[in-house]
Amino acid sequence: MERLRGKVAIITGAARGMGESHALEFVAEGAKVILTDVSEAAGKAIADQLGKNACFIKHDVTDAGQWSKVVAEGERIFGPINVLVNNAGILGHTAKTAELTETEYLKVCAINQHGVFFGMRAVIPSMLRAGMGSIVNISSIAGIVAIYGYPSLAYVASKFAVRGMTKATAVEYGKNNIRVNSVHPGFINTPMMVEATNEEGGDALSLIPLGRLAEPKEVSKLVVFLASDESSYITGSEHLIDAGMSAQ
Ligand code: NAP
């Protein structure tokens, strides 16, 4: 099946974890994909493996100037961008609010929150040229509820912000045929989750009604759906994929 035929997508944070998985699924579904990440060697290796429908551009999502270059270079290679997956993010250290440093707070918000704003701002003109667009902003279950002992206030703040920015932009650009949605994963088996579990040291599985972590590919299926025309009437909404964690 080629559910993403005709789509030109930028996926940030695509050198590992869920971003890598989204890139693999997107190419398998017929999209052309610009993978970006701060990790150059790993990102380039994945793009090379994916072949002529993928390329890699080194990119820090907190740098607005680099965003303009990514969009211009992506358009030059594959044509106007009609999908953006704002996936890059960091967990930061687990610290209670009174112990959270200003530096740590600002770093987490710069990547998780401001990076999403810079991305949407840079890509929307290209989507207007394409006459359509789907933006998928990766938030978190931490953009719906706070979970004791896991992410810091900075992570929760940034992921709630992504949920709000998604709705604001969806309302603004609906008449331009640009849809914007947020995705809220629970605990997913990626390097980030492994690091978080190591740092926190708790029993993550006990918090999950389905009793297991998700594999990244399970989230990619949802992201493919939101990027595709199958979700043509869905915008401004939040999509939980959390094994029932937030239902407790
Ligand atoms: P991951 O395994 O840590 O992968 C994230 C990738 O983003 C890494 O390659 C990382 O590079 C890159 N990155 C970090 N800072 C960047 C920056 N400033 N600019 C560009 N790229 C940057 O994370 P993941 O678990 O796949 O998470 C992907 C997204 O899902 C994140 O937004 C995360 O908050 C969200 N999420 C994850 C989970 C989970 O359970 N894993 C749950 C809910 C939401 P480095 O390795 O060099 O840092």
Residue 72 in any domain: the answer is: yes
Q: Which two tokens stand for residue 209?
A: 């009604």
Is 143 close to ligand 1, i.e. is its CB under 6 Å away?
Answer: no
Residue 82 is predicted with a pLDDT of: 97
Residue 2 in any domain: the answer is: no
**Residue range 84-95: average pLDDT?**
95
Residue 102 in any domain: the answer is: yes
Alpha-carbon span 188 to 10, nearest angstrom? 22
Alpha-carbon span 141 to 192, nearest angstrom? 14
- Residue located via tokens 């979970």: 147
Residue 82 in any domain: the answer is: yes
- Residue located via tokens 């359509």: 132
Number of domains in the chain: 1
pTM assigned to the model: 0.98
Question: Which ligand 1 atom is at minimum distance from the Cα of 141?
Answer: 43
Probe residue for ligand 1, chosen from 38, 60, 91 as the CB with the greatest number of ligand atoms within 8 Å: 38
Q: Can you give the CATH number for the domain in which 71 is found?
A: 3.40.50.720
Q: Which two tokens stand for residue 63?
A: 């740098």
C-alpha triplet 121, 127, 133: angle, nearest 5°? 105
Question: Which ligand 1 atom is at minimum distance from the Cα of 62?
Answer: 18
Residue 87 in any domain: the answer is: yes
Residue 199 is predicted with a pLDDT of: 61
pLDDT tens profile 110-132: 999 999 999 999 999 999 999 99
Per-residue exposure over 210-236, b if at least 16 CB sit within 10 Å of its own CB, e if not? eeebbebebbbebbbebbbeebeeebb
Res. 173: pLDDT tops 80:
yes
Which residues is 4 bridged to in the sheet? none
Residue 164 in any domain: the answer is: yes
Is 140 close to ligand 1, i.e. is its CB under 6 Å away?
Answer: yes
Is 107 close to ligand 1, i.e. is its CB under 6 Å away?
Answer: no
pLDDT tens profile 67-84: 999 999 999 999 999 999
Residue 154 in any domain: the answer is: yes
Orientation of helix 64-78 relative to helix 115-130, angle to 10°: 30
Active site (annotated) includes residue 150: yes
Strands 178-185, 238-241: pairing is parallel
Residues 6+ apart with CB under 8 A from 218: 188, 241
Dist. CA 175 → ligand 1 center (Å) = 32
C-alpha triplet 116, 184, 13: angle, nearest 5°? 45
Residue 248 in any domain: the answer is: no
Is 144 close to ligand 1, i.e. is its CB under 6 Å away?
Answer: no
Q: Which helix H or strand E contains 23, and what residues bound it?
A: helix 17-28
25: containing domain: 8-243
Is 192 close to ligand 1, i.e. is its CB under 6 Å away?
Answer: yes
Q: How many CB atoms lie within 10 A of CB 16?
A: 17
